[in-house]
């Protein structure tokens, strides 16, 4: 199954690479900052067909079709055809295809493929996380020595003040900050130790489903920003890191909230 999924996710990546950027017309979805292109839809339809053939009993949840609450009972594919749609449309060349297979609310397989670098991150529950066949691990860095990547929830600007003031606070407490435009890749960068801590205040399940398993199989920690287990039914905040940086975050976050609101 994993081998077949690797072939399918790379085929989706080929569509992204061969896209004629002059024909990439952006359409706004729920709000400014929330986009779709014809290529998101083409990749999703290809994946829907191929995944149906692979596991007919699995339901299919894709970013470009589903708006209602997700029911992940039984087998279910949770798919983001292009994570980093704005990056794709601007030809920034940092986007990924994300495929998760869930069984009864648990992710059992996850694949995130960046076609621009031909990097395939994947994990199967209990069997470790890999990048192009090589085992990956989160970093052991402390937050003070680490890189923090974050997402700015651009489709929901009510989160802007909280997001950027936390980024500013962490910038002073850590080495530096990054903001890439693809939550799935940010999480895979946590899993492979390229980055040490990630947060975003609102993401959809297809943005983090596959990568969440890759993080935990790389010995990292991923929860929502209240420290609770992630669910895959509806939008959530996401916090992930190597164990040390994740642990350090809570002390720094306590200080941040105390300074902002006076309570801890
Ligand atoms: P996308 O590029 O597939 O749309 C950027 O901060 C991250 O937020 C990206 O992973 C992006 O995924 C995701 N994102 C974009 N629009 C979103 C929305 N309406 N709800 C939740 N996540 C979204
Ligand atoms: Ca996405």
| Residues 74 and 56: beta-carbon distance below 8 Å | no
82 in catalytic set = yes
Give the atom of ligand 1 at the shortest distance from the alpha carbon of 95: 2
80 in catalytic set = yes
To test the pocket of ligand 1, the residue of 69, 78, 183 to mutate (highest count of ligand atoms within 8 Å of its CB) is 183
Three-class DSSP category at 210? helix
Three-class DSSP category at 225? coil
Q: What is the pLDDT of residues 196-245, one digit of tens each?
A: 999 999 999 999 999 999 999 999 999 999 999 999 999 999 999 999 99
Cβ(40) – ligand 1 distance below 6 Å: no
Give the atom of ligand 1 at the shortest distance from the alpha carbon of 35: 4
> From CA 122, how far away is CA 195, in angstroms rounded?
17
Task: Report CA(262)–ligand 1 centroid distance (Å).
Answer: 32
Cβ(204) – ligand 1 distance below 6 Å: yes
Q: What is the pLDDT of residues 102-117, one digit of tens each?
A: 999 999 999 999 999 9
Q: Which ligand is nearest to the CA of 200?
A: 1
For the full predicted model, state whether its pTM sits above 0.85. yes
Average model confidence (pLDDT) across the chain = 93
Number of CB atoms found within 10 A of residue 28's CB: 11
Q: What is the pLDDT of residues 62-106, one digit of tens each?
A: 988 865 567 778 999 999 999 999 999 999 999 999 999 999 999
63 in catalytic set = yes
Compute the residue count for the chain: 264
> From CA 11, how far away is CA 206, in angstroms rounded?
19
Three-class DSSP category at 221? strand
Cβ(83) – ligand 1 distance below 6 Å: yes
Strands (E), the chain: 27-28, 35-36, 59-62, 75-83, 96-103, 106-114, 119-124, 129-131, 134-135, 147-150, 176-178, 197-203, 221-223, 236-241
207 in catalytic set = yes
Number of CB atoms found within 10 A of residue 27's CB: 12
């Amino acid at each position: 199954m994993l081998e077949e999924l690797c072939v399918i996710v790379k085929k989706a990546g080929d569509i992204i690479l061969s896209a004629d950027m002059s024909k990439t017309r952006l359409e706004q979805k729920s709000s400014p900052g929330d986009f779709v292109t014809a290529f998101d839809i083409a990749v999703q339809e290809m994946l829907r067909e191929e995944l149906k053939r692979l596991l007919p009993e699995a339901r299919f949840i894709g970013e470009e079709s589903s708006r209602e609450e997700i029911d992940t009972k039984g087998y279910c594919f949770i798919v983001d055809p292009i994570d980093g749609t704005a990056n794709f449309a601007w030809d920034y060349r940092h986007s990924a295809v994300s495929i998760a297979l869930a069984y009864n609310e648990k992710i059992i397989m996850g694949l995130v493929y960046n076609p621009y670098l031909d990097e395939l991150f994947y994990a199967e529950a209990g069997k470790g996380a890999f990048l192009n066949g090589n085992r990956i691990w989160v970093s052991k860095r402390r937050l003070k020595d680490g890189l923090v990547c974050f997402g700015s929830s651009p489709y929901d600007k009510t989160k802007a003040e909280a997001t950027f003031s936390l980024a500013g606070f962490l910038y002073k407490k850590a080495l530096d900050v990054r903001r890439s435009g693809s939550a799935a890749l940010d999480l895979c960068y946590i899993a492979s130790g390229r980055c040490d801590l990630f947060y975003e205040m609102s993401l959809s399940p297809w943005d983090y489903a596959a990568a969440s398993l890759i993080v935990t199989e790389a010995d990292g920690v991923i929860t929502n920003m209240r420290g609770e287990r992630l669910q895959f039914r509806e939008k959530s905040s996401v916090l992930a890191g190597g164990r040390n940086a994740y642990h350090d975050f809570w002390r720094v976050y306590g200080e941040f909230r105390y300074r902002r609101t006076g309570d801890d």
